[in-house]
């Protein structure tokens, strides 16, 4: 009966030229109507101030608000209408389901949006294994025999894969990932901008959103004690492990960028030794990334079943595993310099990095990009007069 009602509603909306909400979007709209009447959670995060500026929730409003939610779990554990109450309000879960849909809807090219549903741990590890085997085969053929797999090469890892070959392999995959994510978030931005006042970015708004992103402000629960993971106790672990992961990733990226400048501008080819800048950045970044991803994996395994969207767990774990493998194989590669283990570890590390780049636009990485866009729009919108004159920011 419910399906028939939904079909009738969709048919009427289509006939009137209205935009039809998907089931997860309609569920967020339903819950936000309840929250708008209740407003108990107003101080928790950016979602509730954004909600109070609206009496109705269209598609763009829902996409914007869902990507503002950091899935901290606070409003679930505080809610008197949470399951088993008949209102069944579970904001973090409803928002997570819409976020998953957002990533697929805004994927570029659109046909690849389905990859979000298929992205999982098995696929990620199979991709790493396949790429590693391919690279091992290349080493055998290039070195004229399997002995090349356990011989310390002359000239370090560039003695196995020349620098220009590595650039030729990795640069197109990385640039495609940047392009795909950039085009996807540009379309998202265009859709949510009219729904969030339409005002342009200002310096104070950008500074506020940047601060919220860099400090992961909304994982502090609004009071600084942290968010929730396995139960209703507050914890700062999720915030800290995200910071280890994010800054570790950024330091590794900085190490690669500095090494590229050394190579092309200063004519100083790798490998580099301590205390060179690429080595320092890469070493600290690799350790930080390994700690952060190990912590996030542990937290993910223990996560409260009502938080988030269970269907997205394989995608979450695939991303964490790829980052962990990239960090640990990179550190092992450093330790194995000048030893017979170098060719095998190099192939594993390159296979992990290539798999990470290839899955970047269709995996969990997207959550950081879309959330940043929503935080920017929120910082802009809250500086505009409240269109309904109710509530305050
Ligand atoms: S989540 Fe529950 S307690 Fe919080 S505002 Fe919504 S209805 Fe109220
Ligand atoms: S789960 Fe946390 S971030 Fe998301 S709406 Fe609730 S309080 Fe806000």
Domain boundaries, the chain: 2-108, 114-372
Give the number of other Cβ atoms within 10 Å of residue 275's Cβ: 8
Angle among Cα 11, 106, 325 to the nearest 5 degrees reads 135
Q: Which DSSP category does 84 fall into?
A: T
- In the reported structure, the alpha carbon of residue 291 is separated from the centroid of ligand 2 by a whole-number distance in angstroms of 26
* Rg of the chain, C-alpha, whole Å: 23
Determine the Cα–Cα distance for residues 250 and 212; give it in Å rounded to an integer. Answer: 17
Determine the Cα–Cα distance for residues 14 and 33; give it in Å rounded to an integer. Answer: 23
- In the reported structure, the alpha carbon of residue 227 is separated from the centroid of ligand 2 by a whole-number distance in angstroms of 9
Pocket flag, ligand 1, residue 91 (CB < 6 Å): yes
How would you write the pLDDT of the chain (393 residues) with one tens digit per residue? 444 554 565 556 556 555 689 999 999 999 999 999 999 999 899 999 999 999 999 999 999 999 999 999 999 999 999 999 999 999 999 999 999 999 999 999 887 877 777 778 888 898 999 999 999 988 888 766 777 777 777 667 777 888 888 889 899 999 999 999 999 999 999 999 999 999 999 999 999 999 999 999 999 877 888 999 999 999 999 999 999 999 999 999 999 999 999 988 988 887 788 889 999 999 999 999 999 999 999 999 999 999 989 999 999 999 999 999 999 999 999 898 888 888 999 999 999 999 999 999 898 999 999 999 999 999 999 999 988 865 444
CATH number for region 114-372: 1.20.950
- In the reported structure, the alpha carbon of residue 218 is separated from the centroid of ligand 2 by a whole-number distance in angstroms of 8
For helices 313-335 and 277-302, the axis angle rounded to 10 degrees is 150
Determine the Cα–Cα distance for residues 370 and 183; give it in Å rounded to an integer. Answer: 12
Long-range contacts of 54-61 (CB under 8 A, 24+ apart): 54/388, 55/388, 56/29, 57/28, 57/29, 57/32, 57/33, 58/19, 58/195, 59/19, 59/21, 59/25, 59/191, 60/191, 60/192, 60/194, 60/195, 61/195
- The residue whose CB lies within 8 Å of the most ligand 2 atoms, and thus the one to mutate among 49, 70, 213, is 70
* Ligand closest in space to the Cα of 66: 2
């Amino acid at each position: 009966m419910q399906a028939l009602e939904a079909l009738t509603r969709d048919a009427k909306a289509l006939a009137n030229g209205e935009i039809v909400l998907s089931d997860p979007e309609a569920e967020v709209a339903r819950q936000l109507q309840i929250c708008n009447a209740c407003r108990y959670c107003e101080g928790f995060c950016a979602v509730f101030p954004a909600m109070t500026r609206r009496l109705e929730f269209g598609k763009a409003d829902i996409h914007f608000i869902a990507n503002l939610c950091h899935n901290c779990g606070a409003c679930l554990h505080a809610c008197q209408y949470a399951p088993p109450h008949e209102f069944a309000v579970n904001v973090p879960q409803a928002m997570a389901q819409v976020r998953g849909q957002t990533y697929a809807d805004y994927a570029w090219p659109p046909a690849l949006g389905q990859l979000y549903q298929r992205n999982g741990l098995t696929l990620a590890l199979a991709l790493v294994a396949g790429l590693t085997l391919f690279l091992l085969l290349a080493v055998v053929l290039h070195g004229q025999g399997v002995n090349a797999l356990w011989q310390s090469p002359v000239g370090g890892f560039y003695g196995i894969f020349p620098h220009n070959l590595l650039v030729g392999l990795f640069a197109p995959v990385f640039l495609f990932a940047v392009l795909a994510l950039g085009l996807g978030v540009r379309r998202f931005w265009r859709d949510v901008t009219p729904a969030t006042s339409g005002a342009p970015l200002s310096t104070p708004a950008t500074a506020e959103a940047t601060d919220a992103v860099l400090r992961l402000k909304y994982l502090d629960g609004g009071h600084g004690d942290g968010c929730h993971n396995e139960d209703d106790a507050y914890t700062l672990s999720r915030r800290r492990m995200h910071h280890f992961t994010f800054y570790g990733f950024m330091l590794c990226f900085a190490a690669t960028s500095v090494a590229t400048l050394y190579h092309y501008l200063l004519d100083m080819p790798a490998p580099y030794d301590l205390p060179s800048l690429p080595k320092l950045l890469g070493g600290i970044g690799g350790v930080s990334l390994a700690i952060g991803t190990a912590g996030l994996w542990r937290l993910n395994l223990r996560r409260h079943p009502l938080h988030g969207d269970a269907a997205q767990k394989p995608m979450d774990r695939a991303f964490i595993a790829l980052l962990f493998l990239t960090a640990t194989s990179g550190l092992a590669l450093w330790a194995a310099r000048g030893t017979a283990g170098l060719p095998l570890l190099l192939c594993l590390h390159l296979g992990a990095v290539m798999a990470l780049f290839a899955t970047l636009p269709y995996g969990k990485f997207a959550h950081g990009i879309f959330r940043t866009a929503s935080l920017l729009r929120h910082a802009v919108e809250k500086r505009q007069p409240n269109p309904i004159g109710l509530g305050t920011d």
